[in-house]
Amino acid sequence: MINYIAQRLVWIVVILFTTLTITFVLLKLAPEFPPTKNDERDTWLTRQYNDGYYTLEIYSRSNPADMLRVEEIRLEDGVNATVFIVNPVNDSTVFKVFRRVPIFEQYLTWLENVVTEWNWGTSSKVRVNAAAFSLISDRFPLTIRLNLLTLLFYIPFGFLFGILAALNKDTWVDNLMQVVIILFISLPALVFVLLLQIVLGYQLEWLPPLFPIIELESAAKVASGYIIPVIAAGLPAIAGLTRLLRAELSEVLTSEFLQLAKTKGLTYQQAVVRHAIRNSMVPMIPIIIGSFAGLLSGSFILEQVYSIPGVGRVTLQALAAGNYDYNVLMVSSAFYGVIGLVAVLVVDLSYGIIDPRIRMGARK
Amino acid sequence: MSKQYDKSLFSLVQENDRLKDKPLQTKQLTYFQDAMLRFTKNKYNVIASIILLIMILMSIFVPILTPSRFYETTNSELSTLPPRVPLLENLGILDGSKLYENQPVDPTTIDPETGLGYPTLGFEEQYIDFSTLENQIVVGTDKSPLFVGGTVELYVNTSRTSAAVISSEIVSLFAGDYVKINLESMPAVGVLEVYLSPVNLTSSLAGWDDEKLLLLGTVNQSGETSLPQVDGLENGFLVLRYVLDAPSSSGRDKIVFDEVTLVSGNTGESTKVFTGYNLSIFTFFILDTVNENGRYLRNGAEMVIASFRYDEYEALFSDKPRTIGTSEYNQILADNPGMAETITVDPNNPDAWTFDEGYPISAVTDVDRIIIAGREYVNYKVALNGRYSLGFEETPYFIFGTDVFGKDLFVLIWLGLRTSLLLGFLATLFNIIIGIIWGATSAYYGGQVDMLMERFTDIWGSFPSITMIGIITVLIGPGFLALFIFVVYDGWIGAAKVTRFQFYRYKGSEYVLAARTLGSSDGRIIFKHILPNALGTIVTRVVLAIPSVIFLEVNLSFLGFGIGNGQTLTLGPIELTGTSIGVILNDGQQQIFAGNLWLVIFPALIVAILMITFNMFGNALRDALNPQLRGSE
């Protein structure tokens, strides 16, 4: 088992490394999109030069030969894609020409920067010249908080409804729940959040129609801003958990060991609480862990529609057409990669721990 | 085969026994007939499947049967028409009227009896449903002409000594005229100085003691104060200046103006009143940027707003005043034989006549004759039918309304659904083929092969989808191809996982062992023995995956990574437009604030129904194909 975990951990590192490498190389095949304003562009490119992704040539404004050379460079291939000319900034009298170094070299430098200094570069578009890593890590608590709240909201209800449905199987309670479940599972979160926004936000005006700006609004107002996204993400999750638990519990309820428990002299209630419910909950654990990762990486839509300034929204901003912010994209790729991989590992491990009959990776 | 046995040693066991078995009377059912029976058993699922089928057919035929001008051309006049449904409109719902809220009322329309007024800008009186008209008063600080009354406050900022504002128009004071100032409040410190300035450019004045400025008077008390009369005719801009003795410490010292009136000395009547809006639009007049600065705010102004239902269809399609030229007029007469004969000329006005009903023009109200270079040109002022000018025979029913571009939302939704469904089916087909091959190979060989193939899918699948979307968007740009890649690049992993799991389940079975003992090849065992057993689960899993593919497409298009409004793709005989439910929802979301909610609600409902029926169909299929799995997942 320890062997298996160690193997998997090594693999996580390898996979993450491979993923990020591929992402880096593919993104760098496309043209660069530095900040648009000249002085910001100067700062950003100089930073990139200091980090080792660009080479710098300096041409003096007062030297006619230099100016001629700058004009020549302007006509070269790759201007504004991999070669950038920065006009004199403020009191400076020099034109700076930045050229991107070959991808492989960039990659090695990038690796060195990340591993030795934890330097993920600076943002070029989302928040110009801010550290890309802090841009994501600043938003991270909000996204995590939102998803934890969703988790706290949906697990108790999911368990409650699942148990109710299974214990009342094939009665009107169960039938009604089946209808509601299929409705909520089928309703896409996008549709759901839009409808909630219209009804609760715009029509009834009970809740803010968009996520309140944290710096400006009171704590109560901000807290009320969580309600719509938590409901929108939580209700489909409740429906999913209810359905699974109902299926699992109704199977356990007909199993031999429950009959044995009753034969031993336990009442129906004792048998259900001590044996059936406990046993049926065990397989839910991996599913809940998996759902957390799913919620986290699926919160783009919610964050976009409800304008929540979370990780997903920043990532989408970094992906705005023609305004790509590669450094921010790299950080968010790493972020989502780590979350996905760790979740898969934990889910796999929990399968094995819970049910020893399943041995992942066994030979034929 | 080395040892030979004598055949006489053996005899058949039942050779001489009489068989008591009866031949089977009932017809034997094949696997699929059996599945079909189970499928039709659940009525709800059958209904859901029928609805799904209808939706698929609608998505194919509605766009084919509708003239393309309803969904291809942009028509700004038809923009955001609310839904109008036959029959339902008689019940007062979906009748083509739209609820307008917070519309500023034109004060001249306020009815003295009811006290209700309505807006005139952009609305016509006869199409307002007066039974739904409600008025409300809002208090605001906007410097807008729609707000009336209220006071205007002039502050001096912290550590400054004075602030001044100047009128935007020139006022004239004749000999004997004077200015009357009505103040709501006046602080204990400081004084209000009233000037007349010949210029409103600060640069042409040396300072407040410049001789061009005429000091009309000062005020240091609240209430009404009349300033001294002027000696002779004076023209200029009115300047109001609040002066403190010492720099303001709090920045909260303010004069509250009610009214500034110019009064004629002869008659005692006011010739010009500055109050409310026209007082609030005075602009700052700073001569010394170091010591002067302030704030000039409006307060307590009121605006009447109305909410009402407005009949959009009638307003758009009824007669409208237009001016048309001779050729157009004659063309209309020529296009409608018999129209010219119905002319009834107004006995009082030879230049006005009416037509009978049912023609594009109901009346001519005036005729303009212009003679240029000896030729006469005639322009007719007519009441032109709205249906005619928009090219409709009858007032149309847009049962889902129209979108911002004036396109029929009903057709757009089916058009979008067609794109989504086709993409969903294609992607699913691709996923299932790749997934089965991959999963079967991985699980069957197990061990090192499985480990390697699993790690590959781990790497492949752990590509965060948003990163993949980013890479594809950056490298090939948004479009159909990009969308297809997004959907399939990791979509097959799901199918592969199911297949792998099913194979792990069956590969240890006795029949596989038996087949291997008999020397079957790996390929034969995989495709002939294990796959058929696992196929039911795999197929249902994949059918259940179609809605999620469609859903992914909707999400991606909503976020703008998919297809855009303008794109088309030709696949053989089918031409797909770039419209998809996601694009429609995205366009619609921007209309929520404007109150055009149907643009979100209808597409959302259609997607929801599609998802529900697809899931129910998938569940029914699973129950039918794998009865042992009923109720799980």
The string of pLDDT tens digits covering residues A86-97 is: 888 877 788 888
Residue B62 CB neighbour total at 10 angstroms: 19
B600 touching chain A per CB within 8 A: yes
Residues of chain A with pLDDT under 70: 1, 297-298, 352-364
pLDDT of residue B626: 67
* Min distance B455 CA to chain A CA atoms (Å): 8
HEC sequence for B108-150: HHCCCCCCCCCCCCCCCHHHEEEEEEEEEEEEECCCCCCCECC
Contact at CB, A23 and B471, closer than 8 angstroms? yes
Of B467, B554, B589, the CB nearest to A333: B467
A304 touching chain B per CB within 8 A: yes
Closest chain B residue to A336, measured at CA: B464
Closest chain A residue to B597, measured at CA: A198
- Cβ pairs bridging A and B (under 8 Å): 146
CA dist list (Å): B118 to B124, B142, B290, B300: 10, 20, 48, 22
Closest chain A residue to B549, measured at CA: A188
- Considering only CA atoms, which of B180, B168, B169 is closest in space to residue B219? B180
Residue of A183, A197, A319, A331 for testing the chain B interface, max B β-carbons within 10 Å: A319
Contact at CB, A187 and B608, closer than 8 angstroms? yes
* Min distance A257 CA to chain B CA atoms (Å): 20
Q: Are A99 and A55 in contact (CB under 8 A)?
A: yes
A25 touching chain B per CB within 8 A: no
pLDDT of residue B463: 75
Q: Are B320 and B383 in contact (CB under 8 A)?
A: yes
Strand partners for B570? B575
Closest chain B residue to A32, measured at CA: B474
Of A183, A319, A344, the CB nearest to B470: A319
Tell me whether strands A83-86 and A94-100 are parallel, antiparallel or unpaired: antiparallel
A171 touching chain B per CB within 8 A: no
B566 touching chain A per CB within 8 A: no
CA A47 to CA A104: how far, in whole Å? 19
Residue of B450, B456, B462 for testing the chain A interface, max A β-carbons within 10 Å: B462
A204 touching chain B per CB within 8 A: no
Contacts of B77 (CB under 8 A, 6+ apart): B316, B390, B406
List the structure tokens of B212: 């061009």
pLDDT of residue B51: 93
Residues of chain B with pLDDT under 50: 630-633
Of B464, B547, B558, the CB nearest to A333: B464
pLDDT of residue B1: 55
Closest chain A residue to B460, measured at CA: A19
Of A26, A183, A340, the CB nearest to B464: A340
B490 touching chain A per CB within 8 A: no
* A283-A285-A287 Cα angle (round to 5): 85
Residue numbers of B between 452 and 471 with CB closer than 8 Å to A: 454-455, 458-459, 461-467, 469-471
List, as one string, the DSSP characters of B45-108.
HHHHHHHHHHHHHHHHHHHHHS-GGGTTS--GGGTTPPPB-TTGGGGTSSBSEEEEEEEEP-GG
pLDDT of residue B575: 65
Residue numbers of A between 253 and 272 with CB closer than 8 Å to B: none
B608 touching chain A per CB within 8 A: yes
Residue numbers of A between 307 and 336 with CB closer than 8 Å to B: 312, 315-316, 318-319, 321, 324, 329, 332-333, 335-336
Q: What is the DSSP letter of B408?
A: B
Closest chain B residue to A4, measured at CA: B451
Contact at CB, A202 and B592, closer than 8 angstroms? yes
Return the C-alpha torsion angle A337, A343, A346, A347, nearest 10.
-130
Contact at CB, A246 and B614, closer than 8 angstroms? no
Q: Are B121 and B106 in contact (CB under 8 A)?
A: yes
Of A182, A332, A364, the CB nearest to B612: A182
Contact at CB, B475 and A29, closer than 8 angstroms? yes
* Min distance A364 CA to chain B CA atoms (Å): 5
